[in-house]
Structure 1
Amino acid sequence: MKISKMMILFLCSALGSCTLAGLDAQESWDFTPHVADAHTFKSTWQFMNDRNKPGQDSVFNFMLQAIAYAGIDSSEYTKQGRTYFLLHRDAVLRIDKKKVTIDCYWGKYLVPDRDSTGKIIPGKFRAAKSWDEYPKQFVKNTLLYLMADGEHTFGNIGPENDTIYALLPPGVDSLNPKSMMTLRLTNDRASTIKINDFLNSVTVTNVRTAGILNTNGPAHVVDRVVSYGVKP
């Protein structure tokens, strides 16, 4: 009588062990699911600095440079009950095919080009090479828009847009006089947090790493520009 491979596999399963073509059947084992702990047990300020190791890990190097240049006190990143949007280095400077992309800050917000003597060349602009090519207030406003009161993360962000208000004072940005930002969670397996994803939004930003639970509030890392604007 011929016995099919399917029958052998069935018998192996029933008997608990068997060998087929020289290979032992896999034994059963108990699987214990494990969910990574999103808590860092450190403040947002410490978290950024711990990820700023030149030559090793400098994810937040450009953001820390911006904070220092704008004169924002580091205590703003230790205050309780806030949500922080942190700039990955790619959000500040990203190069593709030897060109600075227009979806990073230094590529989107161009600065006047200058000749060899330092004089501005009329009508000519280029990507920035450092934060100090911008007015300090511009950089400060950029950073203030990336902080909001209240803790906004996976536990309270749903598939419908939730409107929050940044620490940028109202009226500073003429395109966003209320200093608004919208957050929503994609209704799929990726569960991506999307920033300013509304009808006719000029810029929609996908959060790169979301739900980092620092001791003073959640943080979300972005690797593209975050801005608010409505298409005409």
Structure 2
Amino acid sequence: MNIKKLINRLLVLFALSVFITGCSVFGLDLQEDYDYKKSLLEEKVNMTAWEYLKKRADGNNPNDTVFRWMKKAIDYSGIDTLEYTKPNRTYIFLHNDAIRRVNGSQVLQTNCFFYDYPIISKNPDGSVIFTTPTSGIPVTTTPTKSWKDYDKETVKKYLLYLIGQGEYSYDNLDQNEVTLQSLLSPGSVATKESRLGYMVTPSSVPGFTTASTGTPAVFTFDYVGNNGKGFDPEGKFTLKLSNTADSKLFFNGGLIVRSSNYRATNGTIHVWGVTVRPSR
């Protein structure tokens, strides 16, 4: 072996030794025992739920208005906004998509409140107009475009249903379903201008039940009788975590959370991006 080749090999060995040492110096150890510890994100927003909603509805950032349509409901309904500042609460917030989901052409899409609860066309006597006299399927107006298409008191009741008494987060939730009393008074009923007023809630008809096992509840609608109530008869909702690695949060048995565990100074906020039906 000539001197030149020997020197080149020595230089290569030297460079490798420097690299290996450098890995340790810069915190890049080649092998290290590490016990993975699962943790759930806890985002402290350092403000009240009301301040957080306003900030992300019509704040200074035009690219972050995800709660704009929820705030429109609050403004229209006249609900006391102090309810969003009181302590020991669980707040269900609605992403814009949960209320008004549209495509690039601004056409209303499925699985949002405005689509699932359209305004019902009626005869002069107040009876529902059906597509055919015997179909039992109501004729609806053009898709809902504004909260003002609904009765103001019904919108207020809906918002009250989305505020739970008691604070529930990943600290005290698990796979066992927890039932919360909302601010909605027991026995509350939705008005009949929209499909919501005809939704049959679990206790409206004897023997009627809904699923609460991780699949969306199935509701029926009564357009001719008096069984439609719209709201949970007790004004209650449920929360639980899925028994999976990501511990998804479920509302009323089936609705999977969009994002969760935002810790406001007066409670915990969980956000849904699909229609939140106001009954178990």
Paired amino acid for 2:273: D
Distance 1:66 1:48 in 2: 12
Which of 62, 68, 71 does residue 78 from structure 2 map onto? 71
Any stretches of 5+ residues in structure 2 without a counterpart? 1-12, 123-127, 130-138, 190-199, 202-231
- Of stretches 51-60 and 103-112 in structure 1, the one that deviates more from structure 2 is 51-60
Identity percentage of aligned residues = 31
> Which structure has the greater CA radius of gyration?
2
- The DSSP-based 3-state class of the residue aligned with 2:44 is coil
Deviation at 1:188, TM superposition (A): 1.8
Any stretches of 5+ residues in structure 1 without a counterpart? 1-14, 115-120, 198-203
Deviation at 1:227, TM superposition (A): 1.6
Does the C-alpha gap of structure 1 residues 144 and 157 become closer, same or farther in structure 2, counting only changes over 3 Å? Answer: same
- Of stretches 220-229 and 28-37 in structure 1, the one that deviates more from structure 2 is 28-37
- The DSSP-based 3-state class of the residue aligned with 1:125 is coil
Distance 1:35 1:184 in 2: 15
Does the C-alpha gap of structure 1 residues 188 and 124 become closer, same or farther in structure 2, counting only changes over 3 Å? Answer: closer
- Asked if 2 retains the 8 angstrom alpha-carbon contact of 1:108 and 1:127, the reply is no
Deviation at 1:166, TM superposition (A): 1.1
1:227 aligns with 2:277: yes
Does the C-alpha gap of structure 1 residues 18 and 76 become closer, same or farther in structure 2, counting only changes over 3 Å? Answer: same
- The DSSP-based 3-state class of the residue aligned with 1:62 is helix
Distance 2:99 2:265 in 1: 26
Distance 1:16 1:210 in 2: 52
Distance 1:18 1:132 in 2: 72
* TM-score after normalising by structure 2: 0.64
Q: What is the aligned partner in structure 1 of residue 112 from structure 2?
A: 104
- Asked if 2 retains the 8 angstrom alpha-carbon contact of 1:113 and 1:126, the reply is no
* TM-score after normalising by structure 1: 0.76
Runs of 4+ residues deviating >6 angstroms: 30-35
- The DSSP-based 3-state class of the residue aligned with 2:87 is coil
- Asked if 1 retains the 8 angstrom alpha-carbon contact of 2:250 and 2:257, the reply is yes
Deviation at 1:37, TM superposition (A): 4.9
Q: What is the aligned partner in structure 1 of residue 54 from structure 2?
A: 49
Matches within 5 A, 1:22-33: 27-28=23-24, 29=27
Q: What is the aligned partner in structure 1 of residue 256 from structure 2?
A: 206
Deviation at 1:214, TM superposition (A): 0.1
Distance 2:151 2:42 in 1: 40
Distance 2:151 2:14 in 1: 72
Distance 1:35 1:66 in 2: 31
Distance 1:216 1:179 in 2: 22
- The DSSP-based 3-state class of the residue aligned with 1:95 is coil
Distance 2:15 2:85 in 1: 58
Distance 2:55 2:261 in 1: 18
Q: What is the aligned partner in structure 1 of residue 184 from structure 2?
A: 168
Distance 1:210 1:190 in 2: 12
Deviation at 1:61, TM superposition (A): 0.6
- The DSSP-based 3-state class of the residue aligned with 1:58 is coil
Does the C-alpha gap of structure 1 residues 210 and 124 become closer, same or farther in structure 2, counting only changes over 3 Å? Answer: closer
- Asked if 2 retains the 8 angstrom alpha-carbon contact of 1:183 and 1:195, the reply is yes
Q: What is the aligned partner in structure 1 of residue 16 from structure 2?
A: 18
Deviation at 1:190, TM superposition (A): 1.4
Does the C-alpha gap of structure 1 residues 80 and 110 become closer, same or farther in structure 2, counting only changes over 3 Å? Answer: same
Does the C-alpha gap of structure 1 residues 51 and 124 become closer, same or farther in structure 2, counting only changes over 3 Å? Answer: closer
Offset from partner CA, 1:26-58 (integer Å, 9 cap, x none): 814279999855211100010011112373211
Deviation at 1:16, TM superposition (A): 11
Instruction: Name whichever structure is richer in strand by fraction.
Output: 1
Count the aligned residue pairs: 200
Q: What is the aligned partner in structure 1 of residue 167 from structure 2?
A: 151
Q: What is the aligned partner in structure 2 of residue 131 from structure 1?
A: 147
Deviation at 1:179, TM superposition (A): 1.4
Paired amino acid for 1:156: N
